[in-house]
Amino acid sequence: MAAVCPNTSVEAAKGEISASYRVGFNRDSTWDSDDDEWNLNLTTSETPRQGITLIMNVLLPASGGMKPSFDGRIQVLAVLLLGSSQEWVQSNSVAELVSDDFSGTVTIGGKLYSSAAVSIPFSDTVGANVNGHWEGSVPFDQAVKQPVGKVKILFVGRRCSYAGEIAIEDPCFTYDQGSVSDGYSVNSTVRRSDGTSLSLSGLTLVTESGGQSPIDLNRASLADPQATAAAVRTYAYLRALGSTDHVIFGMQDELWSKAGAAPDSQNGLTGSDVEDMTGSNAGIMGMDALSLTGQEFSAEQYNGGFAARNGLPAIDVSRLGTAAANVKAAAQVANAAIDRGALVTLSCHMPNFTRVSEASGYRPGRDPSYAKYDFAASSAKDRSSDAVRQILPGGACNGKFNAYLDMIADYAKQVNGPILFRPFHEGTGDWFWWGTSVCDASAYRELFQYTVEYLRDTKQVHNLIYVYSPDGDNTLASIAVYDQRYPGDAYVDVIGFDMYYKDPGTDSGPWFSKFAAEVAAAQQFAAQHGKVFAVTETGIMRTVPAQGDIATALGRSGNPEKQWFEKVLNVLSDSEASYFLTWTNNKELFHVPYVKAVNGDGSLYGHEMIDGFMKFFNDRRSVFAVNQRQISGIFR
């Protein structure tokens, strides 16, 4: 098992002493703590996740070539000192060493030492200061919110007779298999073997099997007559790909939000669960406008890790102001995705604008219009007022809504490529304030049309491709239902639907039959209107979280349909779908498998569906960012 270090640094390397002190324990004491400062300059570039483990070798001089002999025990305690404030977080696991544990030998600087390996995990609870009081059992995620700036080691004698030098060699953080063994993660057996190849011959898309599909710009008439050339080419590419058996895989928040091990370049672990498994990013990166507001992503997160990992300059938050800096950070992530060969899509969990308040610290004449309001609150499911009529022209909240759209426009103008813009998604459902419970079909169409006109005509944003995406469980494969709230051909470019496999059972056949019927209906509706077709959101969803979890999409274990991705591909490859998108991964919610460690032989250790996802990636019909790099000039 190879150590999986989360982008750490330490002054001394393997084979060097990192710290050395002389101690003399009192053999009559049950707790004899050494008073010296045992500080290691061991750091992480990002906030560590639960399961981070300190590993090191503790060395005692091998006097006369003999290993040390002493009575009692030496206990080793570890403390993380976090951020510039050096907040103290102590592991609740204590390593205990007896004389026989010092079975290894190492020579450093001509001196022979006996060595004992020590592993101290920081698991679900830690000791930490809470409101000025020390608490011994604080949830890890509540206590650890900053990168590690230093590590403190405490050696304690327990009726221990040892006196002499203690040294530390090769300290490192790890998330290796041994330290995070959880009873449900597995080792992969399927290796990367990408079978997909896309290239261009003039304006013809050529696949690995020699199939050809014209990228017909004459059929790429968009809702925006002034759409950028890149938007027109991208739209034509999506149509061309839809006529093949290839489908682009997309994922929400894919470049920065993950469930697996922390980034570590030495072991090939990145900021993306998809990239950890496949070596490639998803072919489409999804983002929500909540990332523009600082709720799901922010300039602080960008500066705190993403920028450094991707060789990008930091954002000057103090100069731009927080609101503008957050928008810039989101745009920089989108540009990074495009640089890697991915397309970008933007959804909007818009707040209920009747509940939006003004933000503090707004600087008139200096800050953008959207900085005046607090749009970060996620109140899309607040249906307590007639929000739609309030935000349309003449409504009391029209100014707030326009400011929000100004934020979208600012973001779009900083993105160096087209954006698949998906506002008011799942409008045939009843859970959002633009849904059927409080917004009738006429108001929905008017709202969608106003949004397009404001961005396209008033703000002169011309790199948006507009996506209409009802909820598939409520359209019931009915073309008539798709038509009820359809904004019109002059306002829509892509037609899709959102549909999840909820509470999966041992027989996935009925759901896939329902999914295939929805694909057929949406595709027929798109064809009738001359639009590109896609599955705009899908995945596995559990309506009741698994025991011990806050929320669950894929189960941590016991998933009955481990070949789900391949089966989705089988359905969509027989359709004209250009792409499908799954939702996000984070520590408590995951829609794709993830890697917890890299084994010494290069195989992966992690979620039980890794092998199924790797088969999906290796399938020549699936399209990821790596497959689009050669043709990515289309997107610019």
Identify whether residues 380 and 420 lie together within a single domain: yes
Identify whether residues 490 and 626 lie together within a single domain: yes
Spatial strand order of the sheet with 595-598 comes to: 186-187, 604-606, 595-598
- Domain of 570, CATH number, reads 3.20.20.80
Q: Tell me which of 180, 203, 219 is where a domain ends.
A: 180
Q: Tell me which of 149, 180, 211 is where a domain ends.
A: 180
- Domain of 129, CATH number, reads 2.60.120
Host domain of residue 346? 186-635
pLDDT digits (tens, 9 = 90+) for 418-466: 999 999 999 999 999 999 999 999 999 999 999 999 999 999 999 999 9
Report whether pLDDT(266) > 70: no
Counted domains in the chain: 2
Identify whether residues 163 and 198 lie together within a single domain: no
Identify whether residues 455 and 559 lie together within a single domain: yes
Burial category of 186 from C-beta neighbours within 10 Å (exposed 0-12, middle 13-18, buried 19 and up):
middle
Identify whether residues 114 and 249 lie together within a single domain: no
The whole-angstrom separation of Cα 44 and Cα 59 is 24
pLDDT of residue 96: 84
Identify whether residues 176 and 190 lie together within a single domain: no
pLDDT digits (tens, 9 = 90+) for 188-220: 999 999 999 999 999 999 999 999 999 999 989
In a domain, 2, yes or no: no
In a domain, 91, yes or no: yes
Identify whether residues 196 and 342 lie together within a single domain: yes
Identify whether residues 158 and 242 lie together within a single domain: no
The whole-angstrom separation of Cα 409 and Cα 464 is 10
Identify whether residues 130 and 193 lie together within a single domain: no
pLDDT of residue 599: 81
pLDDT of residue 487: 98
Identify whether residues 517 and 612 lie together within a single domain: yes
Identify whether residues 158 and 244 lie together within a single domain: no
DSSP code, position 296? S
Report whether pLDDT(11) > 50: no
Report whether pLDDT(579) > 80: yes
Q: Tell me which of 127, 149, 180 is where a domain ends.
A: 180
Asked whether 2 and 260 are in contact (CB, 8 A), the reply is: no
Hey, which of 309-313, 395-399, 601-605 has the most confident mean pLDDT? Answer: 395-399
User: Collapsing DSSP states into helix, strand and coil, what is residue 338?
Assistant: helix
Identify whether residues 105 and 224 lie together within a single domain: no
Asked whether 299 and 326 are in contact (CB, 8 A), the reply is: yes
In a domain, 536, yes or no: yes
